[in-house]
A = this chain, B = another copy of it.
């Protein structure tokens, strides 16, 4: 089985919400298949019969466990965001920030950017599905913003304020401006890399990311 993100069994991820307590193997098969079909076709174009086929169960079985097609989507994505993407995303940020308080900011930002890049490449299809369907399902929008975007931003703000207090970073700009700007530089760089060019996964672009960090730290104007 392609071990991407759903294949963690419930007892390996700890306590969960009541709605996703104790899922049987068959239920996980269904959600795994749903992830594959939804990411390939999108929610509306995906059919429950194809999910059943890929899960190796009958269509009736699906509706024994999930009331509606939309329920399948949410039962899969909301716990995935809340219990896997969210914590993974936030914890790795927190760790990098507290463990490297004395490292030059440049080094910390590089670690963060590279880690975000891995995360993005590994979860490309899943993230695309979430962002697409977030337009039509407010529950998803709230989950991804609250559990990933907002909490990640909070951690980065902590990092920036920490460095502002050290006098390392200018204090005349609010931390959130610095955070969102840095995030924007890095993410748009990575997305345009994926969209405009054929980048092989894991291509070494350390040097280019360092240039962006240099730009973020020192600015675009020429030295006087």
Residues of A within 8 A of B (CB): 41-45, 128, 132, 135-136, 145, 149-150, 167-171, 173-174, 177-178, 180-189, 192, 195-196, 208, 211-212, 214-223
Contact A217 B219 (CB under 8 A): yes
- Number of copies of this kind of chain in the complex: 2
Q: List 12 A-B contacts (CB under 8 A).
A: A41-B136, A128-B135, A167-B222, A170-B222, A173-B214, A180-B185, A181-B185, A184-B184, A184-B185, A184-B187, A216-B219, A218-B219
Residue of B nearest to A173 (CB): B211
Select A220's contact among B135, B217, B223, beta carbons within 8 Å. Answer: B217
Contact A184 B189 (CB under 8 A): yes
Known: A171-B222, A177-B215, A215-B219. 4 other contacts (CB 8 A): A42-B44, A43-B44, A216-B219, A218-B221
Contact B188 A183 (CB under 8 A): yes
Contact B168 A222 (CB under 8 A): yes
CA distance A145 to B192 in the complex (A): 10
Set of chain B residues within 8 Å of A45, measured between Cβ atoms: 44, 136
A222 to chain B, nearest CB (A): 5
Q: Secondary structure of the A side of the interface?
A: helix
Contact A217 B212 (CB under 8 A): no
* In the complex, the 10 A-B pairs of residues with the closest C-beta atoms, listed nearest first: A184-B188, A219-B219, A44-B44, A184-B184, A218-B219, A181-B185, A44-B45, A184-B185, A170-B222, A217-B221
Contact A216 B222 (CB under 8 A): no
Set of chain B residues within 8 Å of A182, measured between Cβ atoms: 220
Set of chain B residues within 8 Å of A195, measured between Cβ atoms: 145, 149
